[in-house]
Structure 1
């Protein structure tokens, strides 16, 4: 599914996730949208003492800002699936929040 076929707010999440990934050169970029429409983005964190997927980092940024619910999330990655810990973090806040997985080209491959 191309960004032209997505809801404009979901397409924005993909764009933000792509920018986070590109800016840092990380393996993944992610963005989440809270229930007030604010967005939070992050890239993979790979430090010797701290390992977070981009989705975990984006959820952590949202939670540290006081968010208690998410509308949607997006991950941009070459991986075939969104990692389970990131999905769990999203669903800890909102069980029904969709998580889009797009390739580096921005084309959505799956939604969970």
Structure 2
């Protein structure tokens, strides 16, 4: 039977992984909002509007259709990443809850054994 300290370490590790994927999800949310704002802005532009892309310290003129396509692809990628990350969040949350239940069960067994030995 695994000891409480080992299970506790595993639980802590799962909590760290869960926190990491939650942070990744938050970053993706920010990227999603930013790209949705750009997509919305593109829809308000005239067909002959100039669009520039910042590459390093330089602004490079970009074709509107190409820019729209790039933002659409980026949004698609971000949405797929969000789904993947949400799957990891669910996985780590469930594993964490199972580990927590294991720890509690062992602690209860130890308490019952200690009480039995006192009697």
Is the strand fraction higher in 1 or 2? 1
Q: Normalised by the size of structure 2, how large is the TM-score? A: 0.25
Q: Normalised by the size of structure 1, how large is the TM-score? A: 0.26
Which structure is higher in RCO with an 8 Å CA cutoff and minimum separation 6? 2
